[in-house]
Structure 1
C-alpha cells in the first residue's frame, strides 16, 4: 500500500513539473471556456532545435511550470501541420519557437520568439499579463486607425504597441516616418523604432522612407539598442519588399528592390532577384529568358578553375580574420577542411535553384536542352569533391535525371537517378531516398514522375 501511495505521489510530482499543454483543440472553444487571464500558444516545428531545448530545459523548470499553469491555458501547435498552418499565417508566425499570449477574450496581447532562459521566459509571462490589462487592445486601435490616421499622437502610440507585439508594420511605419518633420526623423527615438521594426523577429522594415532614414543615419546605429550594421537592414528590407512585390504582382516594387541590389554580387544580383520574382509569379517565359541571359553572360564565365580560386580567396580571408587570430594549428586545419569550397557550393545551389523551377514547370524542348547543360554543370562541380558536396550532390543528380527523363532519355535518367539514390543513402536522408526511389520506379515504368 505504501508503495502505491509513493508511486502516486511520484506521478503527481512529475505531472506538476510539466506545463499542461493542449495539442488538439478548437481555439474558439478554448477562448469561450477560458478561466485564466492568458492563453499561451507555443508554435513549434519538428525540426526546430530551440523548440526542443525549451521543452527540455525551460518547460520542466518548476518555477516556470507554476507560473504558466497558474496564469495560462497552454496550447501547443505544430506550425507546419493541420490548423497550425492557418494559425501561423493568421498571427504572422515565421520563426520558431514563437510564443503568443492572448487575453481571455482571444485578443493577441503579447508575443516573443526564440529560445530563452527560464528567467527571461518568466519575465515574458509577466509582460504579457501587464499588456493584457491595457484598457485598449491592439484590435481596437486597428479599428480606429482609419479615422485617426492623421492624429500624430495616436499614430505614435499605435505604432509602438504594434511594434511591441512584433506585428507587421511596414506600411504604417513608412507612413509615420513620412509625417515626421525631417529633423525628428534622425533623433534616437525614431531610429530606435526603425531598428525595433527591422530586427530579425519583426522584419517590418521595407524599402522606403524608413530604410532611407536608417541609411542616412547609419553612423548612429552602433549607439542604439540591439542595432546591427546597416547592411543587415537593407537585406531584410529587400526580402520584405520582394515578397510584397510577388504578392501584389508589382513591377514597381520589384524596381525598388533592384535599386538596393548589388550588381556585382554573382549570387545575389539583379538577375537572381528577377528570377525569384518571375518564379513567384510563375511566369515561365520571363523566368527562362532571364535565366538564359544570366547564365550565358555571367554564371558560365565562372569555370571550375575560377570557382576554386574564389574558394581559396575566401578561405584565406577567413583564416586571417579576427575569428582565427588565436586559433591552434589543429583549428586552422579543421577550418581548411570545413570551408574549402564555400563559394563553389553557392554556385551549385544557384544552378539547382534555376533548374528546379524549369524542370518542374516548363516543357519547352529547347529550354530543357539548355537546362540539361546547366544541371550537368552543377553535377560536375560536385564531382570535384563528392564528400564535401554530399548535402547537395543528390539533389543535383536528381535534377539531371529528371531533365533527361523529360527529354525522353530514359536510360540516362535511370542512371543518374540511381546515383542520386546512392548519394542520398550516404547522406542518410531517408525522406529524399524514398522520394528518389519512387521517382526511379516511375521512370522505369515510363510514367510521369512524382515531385
Structure 2
C-alpha cells in the first residue's frame, strides 16, 4: 500500500471469490440476508460503495481481505455489499439490488462513501460509520456497533433525550462526524460552543475546535474565525486555525466548481472565495489544490515546484509527503523530481515509521541507484507490513535483489 491518504488511490477491486477475510454474501436479497442473520443470531454488516470511490476500493482490496479482519467479522456478522451507482458492466446480481440501493440511499441519507451500516439480529439499524481506515482501527470502530452503549443510534437517542448534557454533546460530535451526520454535529456543537466564551478558551477546547469543525454553518467556525491568534497560541501551532477555516470554506464555496480535467483559473477562484472570507489566507490551500491538479495531469515538474514552494512556509503530514513522493517515483524519471521526492519521503519516514512510507523511501533509493540502502529499507518495510502488504513488498524486495526495475517502464 503506497498512499494512506487517498488522493488518487486506485487499487484492484477484488471481492467476489476472495478466499480470506470477510465473507460477503452472494445470491441473497435483503430479506434473505435479514433472515439468515436472525437465524444465526448475528449482526448485519452492510458495505455501501460505488465503483468510482478510491477508499471503497482500498477497503475491499487491502482491509476486508485480511485474515484478522475476517476472524473478527465472520463469527459476528452476516456481511453484504451494495453497489450504490450503476455502470454498463454491472452483473445481474448487482442489477438485482438496484431498487434496494435506491431505498438505502433515501431511507438512510447516504451521501458519502464508503458508508457502513450495522443492523442487529432483528434487522434494526443500530450503527453507522463513514470512511475507510486501516485494519486494526476499522475493527476497533466496528466494535462500537456490538455494544448498546456505543452504538451510534443509541447514542443519538440518548442525546435527543438529554440535549443540554455537555459531556454527551462532546461524545455526540465525535460520533456524528464519524457517521457523516452534519445536522447532529451542528446541534451538538452549538451546545458546546454556547458554554464556551472567547475569553475563557482553553487548550483542550482549542484542540477540539480545530479537530471537529466541518462546516461554516456552525458556531465552532465562527469561534475559530474570531479568535485565530488565540487558538494558534493555545495549540502552539502557527496557522492551525487558518488551515481549518480555509479547508471548510474551499469545500463549501468551490467544491463543485473545480474540474481537475482542465486547469482551473486559480486567480479567479481565489478572488471569488477571498471576497466572501476576507480574513482567511487561502494561499497555502490553493498550493495543495494545484498539487492535486498537477498530479492528475501528470505534470511532475510543476508538482515538484509547487510542493517545494509550499514547504518553504508550511508543513505537510507524513501521508501527504508519501503520496507526492510515490506519484513521482511511479511516473517520473527526471533527476530533480526524484531528488525532491526522496527528500519528501525521508521526511515522511522521520515523522512516522510506517511500512508504506518505508516502502516508498526504499523504492526511491533504488530508482536513484542506491541498491544497498534500498534493500535495507525494503526489508524494514516488509518486517512492519500487514497481511495485505506482504506479498507486494516481498515481490519488490526480490526485484531489487535481482536488479530488476520496481516501477513500470
- Pick the structure with greater CA Rg: 1
TM class by smaller structure: 0.3 to 0.5
TM-score normalised by length of structure 1: 0.44
Which structure has more RCO (C-alpha within 8 Å, separation ≥ 6)? 2
TM-score normalised by length of structure 2: 0.48
Higher helix share: 1
